[in-house]
A and B are shown apart, each in its own frame.
Chain A
Amino acid sequence: DVKVTQSSRYLVKRTGEKVFLECVQDMDHENMFWYRQDPGLGLRLIYFSYDVKMKEKGDIPEGYSVSREKKERFSLILESASTNQTSMYLCASSTIYLDRGHIQYFGAGTRLSVL
């Protein structure tokens, strides 16, 4: 079974703090993704990565950055947290191989509150 693990289920941070959200997958997947989930807005893609050290902006990258130094780990960074970044953050991974391709496996999510 694919396992995608997010380091924290709940986080409370103060406005202006630098926040790191960590995600690790154990299936040697090439692709990794960060989404935020807000009621009524669905899953919105923040950033994704298709290889180590590679990253591409998603639909809502403003205020976020990412790091992928190792294949299994993808970090989301909030350089200076703001209250409008209070949300549920979901990490996902997928492989490029077509017979198993496209299926995204999600982590359990990190609920971030910025006060």
Chain B
Amino acid sequence: GENVEQHPSTLSVQEGDSAVIKCTYSDSASNYFPWYKQELGKRPQLIIDIRSNVGEKKDQRIAVTLNKTAKHFSLHITETQPEDSAVYFCAASRSGGSNYKLTFGKGTLLTVNP
């Protein structure tokens, strides 16, 4: 089955700096890569996703890049703000059929210091 590795497990940055979280996956058939944000005491919520036919996707201060050859993808947050502090999870999935199972990484605790 799919295995997703996520690094680093914790990341501390100063407000205004950039943050990068990296994930690798094992299943070359995976073609969908979402990122979820979980604030303290709240439920995980999708913040951005990318499909394998695209190399990069951007939404305001967040972007995701995908390297299919190397089987890794990354989340980039620019101009970080204290409200970006949360646990971030990457995930990978195959599409097709009735199976939409996601395999999650172990998460990265991002702390943005004011």
A-side residues, CB < 8 A to B, are 30-31, 33, 40-45, 48, 50-51, 56, 58-59, 90, 94, 96, 98, 101-104, 106-109
Contacts and interface: CB of A to CB of B under 8 A. Distances in A.
A51 B9 contact: no
A102 B43 contact: no
Interface stretch (B12-20, B53-61, B62-70, B99-107): B99-107
B89 A102 contact: no
Q: How large is the interface on B (under 10, 10 to 19, 20 to 34, 35 or more residues)?
A: 20 to 34
A67 to B, nearest CB: 19
Contacts, number: 58
Interface of B: 1, 6, 9, 32, 34, 36, 42-46, 49, 89, 93, 95, 98-107
Given A42-B89, A43-B89, A102 B102 contact: yes
B102 A106 contact: no
Contact of A109 (B43, B46, B100, B102): B43
Contact of B44 (A40, A43, A94, A101): A43
A101 B104 contact: no
